[in-house]
Amino acid sequence: MKKFINDPADVVTEALAGLAAAHPDLRVDTAEQYVARADAPRPGKVALVSGGGSGHEPLHGGFVGAGMLDAACPGEVFTSPVPDQILAATKAVDGGAGVVHVVKNYTGDVMNFQLAAELAADEGIAVETVLVDDDVAVENSTWTAGRRGTGATLLVEKIAGALAEEGGKLGEVAAIGREVNAASASFAYALTAGTTPAAGRPGFELPDDEIEAGVGIHGEPGRRRERLRPARELVRSALDVILEAQPLDRGERVIVLVNGLGGTPLIELYLIYGEVATVLAERGVEISRRLVGNYVTSLDMAGMSITVTRVTDEMIRLWDAPVRTPGLRWGA
């Protein structure tokens, strides 16, 4: 294994120290292991807290800041954060208006966020949970009952975060987060596996001419292994799956995320976006907004995912609202 690390056991802690040094407008609690806005808690504002295993950066720590998350709880690499950690973050950012937990649908994450929510309730903090399960490649998976949560997490955090920033109430913020998730579908391909610092070798092996279609962001198996095909064919196949799960009529509007899984160069992601735009144009679907880059990654996995979210005027308005985080920033 070749990585820029010291001891594999210290990767998450040391990366958090770097994040803290790089972003003075974040507050990193290295003891409790969470990242919060430096100005949290904001009295009267609904707070958003997310988290999950590390290795998906910039998700979630890189999405903490004005207009998005109030706090993020990074677990060890590909490992759920623990309930005490989530509780500490929840208490740290609660401004009295309640807290929304944004939880990707993995069994450990769901269980630990639920425990934390119950503990928070015991302390008088109202918590609503938004479960993200947008990955339509498979039902159930290695660490998941039901669909996995992947790229749509970014959209949920951005759009619900914007509503919270402008004064939305707890129920409203949770509701729009759930709407965004319900309106989203994602599908990913892997060309290679990522390598965790602890394991020191790729999570799976793929022959030189094969890809994993429907891979998860921890390297979970997808639908099948298949021969590598030209990008335009892969994009068509992915969109067939996405649009079967989430049918779109002509004239409907979407936000598209073409997301790199960490080891795929941006030049390929733009090429893929061009193919996505071509296919959706043929189907009469209007891409209102789009994002191309590495946002929900799987360490150094060469791969990409496509997320399509059917949007309303209100979602577009909230998408366009200012956001100021390390990983996503505009209008501020």
Residue 234 in the binding site for its own copies (CB under 8 A): yes
Residue among 317 and 329 whose Cβ is closer to its own copies: 329
Residue among 59 and 93 whose Cβ is closer to its own copies: 59
Residues 168-187 that bind its own copies (CB under 8 A): none
Residue among 107 and 288 whose Cβ is closer to its own copies: 288
Secondary structure (H, E, C), the chain = CCCCCCCHHHHHHHHHHHHHHHCCCEEEECCCCEEEECCCCCCCCCEEEEEEEECCCCCCHHHECECCECEEEEEEECCCCCHHHHHHHHHHHCCCCCEEEEEECCHHHHHHHHHHHHHHHHCCCCEEEEEECCECCCCCECCECCCECCCHHHHHHHHHHHHHHCCCCHHHHHHHHHHHHHCEEEEEEECCCCECCCCCCECCCCCCCEEEECCCCCCCCCCEEEECCCHHHHHHHHHHHHHHHCCCCCCCEEEEEEEECECCCHHHHHHHHHHHHHHHHHCCCEEEEEEEECCCCCCCECEEEEEEEECCHHHHHHHHCCEECCCCEECC
**Of the candidate residues 9, 17, 38, 111, the single one contacting its own copies (CB under 8 A):** 17
**Of the candidate residues 33, 50, 54, 305, the single one contacting its own copies (CB under 8 A):** 54
Residue 4 in the binding site for its own copies (CB under 8 A): yes
Which among 64-72, 81-89, 120-128, 269-277 is the span making contact with its own copies, rule CB under 8 A? 269-277
**Of the candidate residues 68, 304, 311, 315, the single one contacting its own copies (CB under 8 A):** 304
Would residue 23 show up in a list of annotated catalytic residues for this protein?
no
Residues that bind its own copies (CB under 8 A): 2-7, 11-12, 14-22, 54-55, 57-58, 62, 77, 189, 191-192, 194, 208-209, 211, 228, 230-232, 234, 262-275, 277, 290, 292, 294, 297, 299-300, 302, 304, 324, 326, 329-332
Residues belonging to the active site = 56, 218
